[in-house]
Amino acid sequence: QIPEPSAFSASGHRRDGDCARTRGGAPMAEAARKQRSPAAPRPVRCIVKLGGAAITNKGKLESIDEESLRSACAQLRQAMSESDGTAPEKVRGMDWSRRPGDPADPVVDAEGFAGMAGLGLDSNFVVVHGAGSFGHFQASRSGVHKGGLHSTLVKAGFVATRISVTSLNQEIVRALARGIPSVGMSPFACGWSTQRRDLASANASQIIESLHAGFVPVLHGDAVLDESLDCTILSGDVIIRHLAQLLTPKYVVFLTDVHGVYDRPPTDPNAVLLKEIEVDDNGGWSIVKPALQGNRKEVEISVAAHDTTGGMETKILEAAAIARLGVDVYITKVDTEHSLRALKGDVNTSSDDWLGTVIRAAK
């Protein structure tokens, strides 16, 4: 069940004196509260973050990891399916456009769609994806994340960054459209903006109305206008945090290129996977499982040189902020049995047969 759009009719702009901090928590939560009905039930089952490193080849400019993307889309469809899974389902594609090199016009199963009572999906999902090898290069080379549209280089880079990230968004929507009624949405085009990189305006009415209509919104990290810096980069992780405050999903899933959060860079042979992290009311967090040697609580952070969004550090901070809302966050590796279980919400931290990290509110 999705709340009525009228409950979300606020434009998303903050009032004078408000400070919608992306990491401060309370002011942005207050802005989200004002946009939703106090009596609204939990409307969205899951918000999914497709990590840029998981669905693109980050070492190769604008290169999609086709296998990982196909798997993620198939698992999403499986998690949404309302069937018991005992009989194979016929998947009908919704990408009817002709692409360069196609030998013939696309096949449109008009009779098949017309004869269907519905798609048989629980489509109360929202997808947000990172940029990976799309966008980061253009943004870092031109300094878009630092702002300054008076510079011709920054202005050109803003255009180049948006061309890159929106082209990736289209390809992800194409992949999802094999069975999932997905629609791409760009934060810039929806009027989202920042104030010194903190989210200041976030109109979610189009997202809400799309969910009501039975579509799966697909958003992405984007270049946006900034009231103080002229422009900056709004990361997908910050977008997910705001949507979690607004839509109160049952759970949030981050699909990455590693099994979860480690106590140090996962390339380190001594790295330990952190299975469960708890976040207290003040935003402090502690490692519940496993018990680390010397009772260590810290996590080492590594960020790629070209990553303009903060990398793993931002991901952990935003996931912790979501957990403080009472929403469990599952972080796991794409294209595995563990990612499918996470998408279904079938995660039991008391069992050792699931590989990933759960971040939740302290009890």
Number of domains in the chain: 1
Whose structure tokens read 């976030």?
202
Q: What does the angle CA 335 – CA 336 – CA 337 come to, to the nearest 5 degrees?
A: 135
Residue 281 falls inside a structural domain: yes
* Contact residues for 134 (Cβ-Cβ < 8 A; gap 6+): 52, 56, 62, 164, 165, 167, 168
Closest-CA residue to 236 (of 310, 304, 344): 310
**CATH number for position 173:** 3.40.1160.10
The Cα 74–Cα 54 span in angstroms is 15
Instruction: Using DSSP, state whether 195 is helix, strand or coil.
Output: strand
Residue 117 falls inside a structural domain: yes
Residue 15 falls inside a structural domain: no
Residue 309 falls inside a structural domain: yes
Q: What pLDDT tens digit does each residue of the chain (363 aa) get? A: 544 433 333 345 443 333 333 344 555 555 455 454 433 434 799 999 999 999 999 889 999 999 999 999 999 999 998 766 555 567 778 888 877 777 777 778 787 777 776 788 888 999 999 999 999 899 999 999 999 999 999 999 999 999 999 999 999 999 999 999 999 999 999 999 999 999 999 999 999 999 999 999 999 999 999 999 999 999 998 999 999 999 999 999 999 999 988 888 888 888 888 899 998 888 787 888 887 765 555 565 443 444 444 456 667 888 889 999 999 999 999 999 999 999 999 998 777 889 999 999 988
Instruction: Please give the residue range of the domain that contains residue 235.
Output: 46-85+112-361
> According to DSSP H, which parts of 135-235 are helical?
136-142, 152-176, 205-212
Two tokens at 125? Answer: 């999902």
The Cα 124–Cα 80 span in angstroms is 8
Residue 318 falls inside a structural domain: yes
Residue 38 falls inside a structural domain: no
Closest-CA residue to 155 (of 222, 61, 225, 219): 225
Question: pTM for this one?
Answer: 0.83
Strand ranges (DSSP E) for the chain?
A: 46-50, 125-129, 182-184, 193-195, 198-201, 216-220, 222-226, 230-234, 251-256, 276-279, 285-289, 328-333, 357-361
DSSP string covering 254-312, please?
EEESSSS-BSS-TTSTT--B--EEEE-TTS-EEEEESPPGGG---------TT-SS-HH
Residue 238 falls inside a structural domain: yes
Residue 100 falls inside a structural domain: no
Closest-CA residue to 32 (of 362, 322, 233): 322
